[in-house]
Chains A and B, each alone.
Chain A
Amino acid sequence: MGILEVKGINKRFGGLQALGDVNLSVQENTVHAIIGPNGAGKSTLLNVLVGKLIPDSGSVMFDGKSVLGLKPFEITQMGISRVFQTPEIFINLTVMENVLIPCFAKRDGAYRLHALESFASEKDMIEQAEKMLEEVNMLDKRHMIASSMSRGDKRRLEMAMCLVQEPRLLLLDEPTAGMARADTENTIQLLKDIRTQRGITMAIIEHDMNVVFSLADRITVLAQGMPLVEDTPDKIKNHPKVREAYLGEAQV
């Protein structure tokens, strides 16, 4: 029984079958990659997992509980964090504030009116945020406004914002899309560190095969909204159907 169990998901947009009978089982402490050519339904699947889209049929269970019909913030509260293709951070706030917000969210739940409290009385939260920043080597940048950082740093900050909540499952949507080679390598290293140091389960959607094969324990290949095959990286590399449907064009 995996930590995330997706069974028989269907989703249609008008006449287009975006997802057809998709099954997915992500085991705890693994990195599970979902790959497929453009329009294969990867993003749709991700949006179903985080509650942004509701599928026509099927079930999504996280840790034995259904997440269907829950709002994104409720799903996040259950322990699923999401990293976006372009880093979604609070660009007009400082780095420190960016990390403080998820700290409060983790402690206080979805909402708490602490309108008259001051940060001086929130030493725990500040310590927690500073510790997190130290781990991602950004403590010296904590007073910087987030918008003035490089793209790589923004990605790192977003990751810190997710990690500080100690999620049980991290969903990554093409975390290296549009990155320079060096930034990509850094991100791969960052993800590897997260995995070895924290043992967080990850589901990753990725185009870059280099990233996929250096991280993934298992790979699911989607094509035209259908799961084509699911297996280990080695087997996937040599799978004839996959080569035909996907890798043939990408030339790994």
Chain B
Amino acid sequence: MLGLNSHDLKMFIVIAILTLAAPILLNPFPDASALGESFNAGYPALMQRFVIFGILVIGFNLLFGLTGYLSFGHAAFLGIGSYAAVWMFKLLSYNIVPAILLSVIVAGLVSVVIGYVSLRRSGIYFSILTLAFAQMMYAIAYSDLLGRMFGITVTNGETGLQVYNDDPQILMSAGDPTVPHLFGITMNGSSTWNVGGWSFIFQNGYYLSAIFMIAAFYLSIRIFRSPFGLMLRAIKSNQTRMHYTGLNTKPYMLAAFVISGMYAGLAGGLLSAMDPLTGAERMFWTASGEIVVMSILGGVGTLIGPVLGAGLIKYLENIVSKINDGILHNWFAFMPDWLDNLLVTIIHPFIGKGWHLTLGLLFMAVVIFLPGGLVEGGQRIGRLFRRKKSTDAANGATKPAE
């Protein structure tokens, strides 16, 4: 079905269901409970991030996972997509269709240029070239160099780009919503379902992004399993043989780079559609680094890894940043005071504003101990169980002989 084999189809359906049911699944604890306040993730702003960054990392994985080319400047395309979308809001109207279309197209065009140049080199040189390009774009956006050159506003520099009342918005008619919308369905509109101590919020914006992510995921499975995907894996495996097989690696690489850039552009466009303002910080190298972290954590080159990685990082970021010393003291209240204080002192640098420290350590741990990411971790555990089961079975088989 859908051109997928049964294993992929199962995985796809599971991901689709989990994504669509996320507003319920991610709110396991009653809203008012202490656990709910710390660990619930089922509110729209956070869930949007899960799926939008999911799209971004799925796209990144098509490049890094399949071909092994490590781009260290992928956030540039995210930023470009965001700017393009906001410009559509400013010029045309708050309808997200042109905004998202343009963000994908512009990111695609820019990635053709950057990819064409960067792909002339490989290995570490490629990484550094992409990093250099991204930093250059960041500098251009941060100081609005393009705008200054032509005496207009392009990125609006440090302030960031947003929609103002006096913007043209030529397609706006009187009754149109003044927030991003899809033919009248506003992105921030939502309906709430109250059950017991729970209230589940189903937001239009989240569902739009979720549908995009499911589609993006489906597309990535198709690409992974296509002859094109096979060629990309072959490039990762052995470029020399690739050349002497009569294949030209350049267009394959460029296609992968551009597809991946367009995914990032889509993610950027969606970010703007959820909240119609953007700034240069989305393109900073730390943002690119975060994309790499997400895909490594999930499992590079696997289908499901990027989705897991993006979700987990964004989730951890959310809860770790929310925890403060007071919450810790609450948790450790049952301990003797000195132990409580000691633990809080030890943990303090890792929580709240210390999230990046935790992230860095987590990232190192994964690279060192689990280069295949969570997916490999899951497989290892799975194997462990199976082995146990098979030895059990073997024991069971020998028993009757006794």
A interface residues with partner B (beta carbon < 8 Å)? 50, 71-74, 76-77, 81-82, 84, 88-93, 97, 100-102, 104-106, 109-111, 113-120, 122, 125, 161, 165
Contacts and interface: CB of A to CB of B under 8 A. Distances in A.
8 contacts: A50-B244, A73-B248, A89-B238, A93-B234, A115-B223, A117-B226, A118-B225, A120-B3
A73 B243 contact: yes
B133 interface: no
Interface string B117-133: 00000000000000000
A165 to B, nearest CB: 7
A117 to B, nearest CB: 5
B357 interface: no
Interface string B225-241: 11111110110111011
Mostly, the B contact residues are helix
B230 A76 contact: no
Contacts of B226: 114-119
B248 A113 contact: no
Nearest to B254: A111
Most chain A CB atoms below 10 A, which of B223, B230, B240, B241: B241
Contact of A76 (B238, B244, B259): B244
Given A72-B243, A73-B243, A105-B245, A90 B238 contact: yes
B222 to A, nearest CB: 5
Contacts of B244: 50, 72-73, 76, 81-82, 88
Contact of A92 (B219, B223, B237, B251): B237
B312 interface: no
Given A81-B244, A82-B244, A111 B223 contact: no
Contacts of A93: 230, 233-234, 237
A70 to B, nearest CB: 11
Interface of B: 3, 219, 222-223, 225-231, 233-234, 236-238, 240-249, 251-252, 255, 259
A77 B244 CA distance: 9
B222 A115 contact: yes
B359 to A, nearest CB: 30
Nearest to B240: A88
A116 B246 contact: no
A119 B241 contact: no
A115 B245 contact: no
A81 B247 CA distance: 12
Contact of A101 (B222, B247, B255): B247
A90 to B, nearest CB: 4
Given A88-B240, A118-B3, A100 B246 contact: no
Contact of A89 (B241, B243, B249): B241
A109 B244 CA distance: 12
Given A90-B238, A92-B233, A111-B252, A119 B245 contact: no
Nearest to B233: A93
Given A92-B233, A93-B230, A117-B227, 6 more contacts: A73-B245, A74-B246, A76-B244, A113-B228, A115-B222, A161-B241
A44 B247 CA distance: 23
Q: Residue among B229, B237, B249 with the most chain A CB within 10 A? A: B237
B218 to A, nearest CB: 10
B227 A90 contact: no
B228 A101 contact: no
Contacts of A161: 241, 245
Shortest Cβ-Cβ A-B pairs, 5 listed = A76-B246, A110-B248, A90-B237, A115-B228, A111-B251
Given A115-B228, A115-B255, A116-B226, A110 B246 contact: yes
Nearest to B237: A90
A227 to B, nearest CB: 25
Contacts of A81: 244
Contacts of B249: 73
